[in-house]
Amino acid sequence: MNAPGSGRSNLGSRRLMQRIAFSLVWAAGSLSVLILLIVVGYIVAKGLSSITWQFITTPPRGGISGEGGISTTIVATLYLVVLTVGIATPLGVGAGIYLVEYAEAMARKSRIIRAVVSTARFGVETLAGVPSIIFGLFGYALFVSSMHLGFSLLAAGLAGACLILPVVIRTTEEALKAVPVSYRNGSLALGATRWQTTQKVVLPAAIPGIMTGIVLSVGRIVSETAIFYVTLGGSYRMPTSLLSGGRTMALHVYYLAMETRAFDKAMGTAAILVISIIIINAVINLFSRKLSARIGA
């Protein structure tokens, strides 16, 4: 902190320094946009030519020549999304509600509850940092092998649910915390129980935030490859039951790129994948805008 107070002469050089530094920082900001444009632009430009209605609605076929479309991979992806979200949402929302609405109020009174809370927080934080290949290994060891579910939607869905559980818990917590305390106090003062308050007052206000978490999870599942590479089997047939194997779109990109001659189709599938992610992100932004509008009101 020697600069302030020194003569006018160094003001010029300090200004010059600032100008250089600011342009570098501007460059960093712009570069991130540029990288995105290059990656997305390249994939979409290369993939667009193979995207037709027929490509989307016919199943893959033809072994290593990689013919056909991607319909069954879209269905498998959707099944897996429904399955993982169906498993993780009730658990995650429930956990979030407990941590924010119950535990925080009672933690002051009970040592056990404090222990429960810190254990649960540790679990969430650890789970959020686990690399997806570990979820895959675990899913393979427990669900595929030990529980004899085989390479199946169910095994992959259970492993995938572990991936998104921390996402759902964290966003639920954030959403609940954003609900003003006055709402709760008002309801509690009227004689409602904590559960009634949560159910009738707090949760409705937190819905957009919770939905953000769910949509975020959908994005994570759609783009996940490593877990499903080791638990889903990779068959491109239409899944007929929870115990069928399958191939998600992301996995299909991997197989097309690594096993077949159909690079154009890999690009086409990747383009559809990227476009879906863009749409999912737009939906998330919509929800969070709704949320901030609500809190603001």
Partner 1 sequence: MHKITAASILKAAVFTAALALVPLKSAGADTEITLFGSTTVQPLAEKLGEAFEALHSDIMVTVGGGGSSVGVKAAGEGTADIGMASREVKESEFQEFPGIVVHTIARDGIAIVAHPGVSVSNLTVEQVRQIFSGEISNWSGVGGPNQVIVVIAREEGSGTRAAFEELVMDEALITSGAILLPSNGAVRTSVSTTPNSIAFLSFGYLDPSVRGLSIEGIEPSVSNAKTGIYPVVRPLNMITPGPAGGAAARFLEFIMSPDGQAIVSSEGYISVI
Partner 2 sequence: MRTRFIVDKSVGYFLMLMALTSILAVFLIGFFTLREGLPAISEIGLGRLLTGSVWRPGLEEFGLVPMIAGSVLVTIGAAILGVPLAIGCAVFLAEIAPRWMSNIVRPAVELLAGIPSVVYGLFGMVVLVPLARKVPVAGNSGFGLLAASAVLAVMILPTITNISEYAIRLVPREYREGSLALGTTRWQTITRVILPSARSGIVAAIILGIGRALGETIAMIMVIGNSVIIPRPLNANPLTIFLSQARTLTGNIAVEINYATGIHESALFATGVILFVLIMLINSSARAIMRERTR
- Interface residues toward partner 1, by CB under 8 A: 61-64, 79, 82-83, 85-87, 89-90, 93, 97, 148, 150-151, 157, 198-200, 203-204, 207, 210, 233-245, 257-261, 263
CA distances (Å), origin 76, targets 31, 221, 235: 36, 11, 10
Smallest gap from residue 220 Cβ to partner 2 (A): 9
Contact 224, 273 (CB under 8 A): no
Binding partner of residue 242 among partner 2, partner 1, none, CB under 5 to 8 Å per kind?
partner 1
Judged by CB under 8 A, the chain residues 227 through 246 that form the site for partner 2 are: 229-230
22 binds partner 2 (CB under 8 A): yes
Q: Is 140 in the site for partner 2 (CB under 8 A)?
A: yes
Which member of 70, 99, 203, 206 binds partner 2 (CB under 8 A)? Answer: 99
Nearby residues of 82 by Cβ (< 8 Å), 6 or more positions away: none
d(Cα 160, Cα 282) in Å, to the nearest integer?
Answer: 23
- Restricted to residues 26-45, the positions that interact with partner 2 (CB under 8 A) are 26-33, 35-36, 39-40, 42-43
Tally of CB atoms within 10 A around 297: 5
DSSP code for 245 = -
Choose the binding region for partner 2 from 57-65, 127-135, 175-183, 239-247 (rule: CB under 8 A).
127-135
The site partner of 203 among partner 1, partner 2, none (C-beta below 5 to 8 Å per kind) is: partner 1
According to DSSP, residue 61 is labeled E
Q: How far apart are CA 115 and CA 107, in angstroms?
A: 9
